[in-house]
A and B are shown apart, each in its own frame.
Chain A
Amino acid sequence: MRKVYNILAVLFLLVSIVFAVLPMGTLAVLPVALALIFSGLAFFISEADAKKFPKILLILSVILLVVVLAKAMMPDEVATDTEFEQKKIESKNEDLKDLEELEGLE
Chain B
Amino acid sequence: MKKWTLLFVLAFTVNVAAQAVKSGEKFVYSAAYNMSGLLTPLAQVKMETETVKTSKNTLLHLSCEATTFSKWDSFFKIRDTYESYVNPATFKPSLYKRDIFEGKYTKKEKYLFKGNVITSTVKKKNAPETTKKFSIGANTNDVVTILYQLRNVDFSKFKTGQTKTFTVVFDEKQMNVSAKYMGKETVKAGNLGSKECYKISIAAKTDKLKGTDKNLIWLTADARKVPALIKFSIPVGTGQLTLTNASGI
Let me know if B38 is at the binding interface, CB within 8 A. yes
Asked if B54 and A24 sit within 8 Å, CB to CB, the answer is no
- A27 with B36, Cβ < 8 A, contacts A76-B69, A81-B67 known: yes
Query: CA–CA, A103 to B95, complex, Å?
Result: 11
Let me know if B22 is at the binding interface, CB within 8 A. no
Asked if B44 and A78 sit within 8 Å, CB to CB, the answer is yes
- A27 with B40, Cβ < 8 A, contacts A22-B75, A91-B97, A96-B54 known: yes
**How would you classify the secondary structure of chain B's contact residues: helix, strand, loop or mixed?**
strand
Asked if A24 and B35 sit within 8 Å, CB to CB, the answer is yes
Task: Mark B84-111 against chain A: 1 for CB-CB distance below 8 A, else 0.
Answer: 0100000000110101000000000010
Task: Mark B65-92 against chain A: 1 for CB-CB distance below 8 A, else 0.
Answer: 0011111110100010101010000000
Query: CA–CA, A77 to B70, complex, Å?
Result: 6
Give the contacting residue for B30; candidates A23, A76, A79, A105; CB below 8 A.
A76
**How would you classify the secondary structure of chain A's contact residues: helix, strand, loop or mixed?**
helix
Task: Mark B114-145 against chain A: 1 for CB-CB distance below 8 A, else 0.
Answer: 10000000000000000000000000000000
| Size class of the contact patch on chain B | 20 to 34
Let me know if B190 is at the binding interface, CB within 8 A. no
Give the contacting residue for B57; candidates A79, A81, A95, A103; CB below 8 A.
A103
Instruction: State how many angstroms separate the Cβ of B108 from the closest Cβ of chain A.
Output: 10
Asked if A103 and B75 sit within 8 Å, CB to CB, the answer is no
Task: Mark A73-106 against chain B: 1 for CB-CB distance below 8 A, else 0.
Answer: 0101111010010011001000110111011011
Give the contacting residue for A26; candidates B38, B67, B95; CB below 8 A.
B38
Asked if B70 and A84 sit within 8 Å, CB to CB, the answer is no
| Size class of the contact patch on chain A | 20 to 34
Give the contacting residue for A103; candidates B55, B67, B68, B110; CB below 8 A.
B55
Closest chain B residue to A84 by CB distance?
Answer: B79
Asked if A76 and B94 sit within 8 Å, CB to CB, the answer is no
Asked if B95 and A95 sit within 8 Å, CB to CB, the answer is yes
Query: CA–CA, A88 to B36, complex, Å?
Result: 35
Given contacts A26-B40, A99-B94, 7 further A-B contacts (CB under 8 A): A76-B41, A81-B67, A87-B99, A91-B99, A95-B83, A100-B55, A103-B55
Q: Which residues of A contact B (CB under 8 A)?
A: 22-27, 30, 74, 76-79, 81, 84, 87-88, 91, 95-96, 98-100, 102-103, 105-106
Q: Which residues of B contact A (CB under 8 A)?
A: 30, 35-36, 38, 40-41, 44, 52, 54-57, 59, 67-73, 75, 79, 81, 83, 85, 94-95, 97, 99, 110, 112-114
